[in-house]
Amino acid sequence: MKCLISLFAVFTSACFGDVILDSTMAYYDYDSWVGTTSADYSTIVTNVDILAIDLPTNGLCTTARYAGNERMREKKLLVFSDANDSLLVEVCVRASTNVIIAQSEIMRRLSGFAVAPLPSVTNGLAGDRCYCKFTTNGFGYVAFARNTVFAEATSYTNAISASDIAVQLDAAILNVSTNAPGM
């Protein structure tokens, strides 16, 4: 009986997650823009070296983490304050095998937002598709897709702008997308 209850809980959770993702995709009219980009890129970006990008977090205490699978490679940069080891900024970049995977990753991440209002569409700040959310207490979040890359920057302090990080990431990804193979 205990095993059956656990199985039901997993199944219910997975179904509920799918409903939330479907609802998020409908809210952002995902079907009308999925697969579209602002340019025809000359190369697919398969790797992003976030430590080599001139971010406004350089010189701060950082930790890099790497993960991946056959569909997507993830690199995460965590920025801490030296004084009390508080997390200041989190930067995540996922290079995927195609544009649709990168764009669907935006929807997957936005479906995790439990607090209203949801992030707003801000195309033009960064990437082919961009969403952001800011609060008065220092929280800033920007998620975007450029070419085959999903990127997000979360700032937990007013001292470092998630928008500035997103602009720098996007410039680096765009440079690779239009100029040279790999990154």
Name the domain count of the chain.
1
**Residue 14: which domain range?**
2-179
Q: Which of these ranges, 80-84, 121-125, 130-134, has the smallest mean pLDDT?
A: 80-84
Query: Which CATH number belongs to the domain containing residue 114 in this structure?
Result: 3.40.1000
Task: At 26, list the tokens.
Answer: 């409908």
Token pair listed for 177: 């997308």
143: Cβ–Cβ under 8 A, 6 or more apart, which residues? 106, 109, 110, 119, 130, 131, 132, 150, 151, 152
pTM for the whole structure: 0.81
42 has pLDDT over 50 = yes
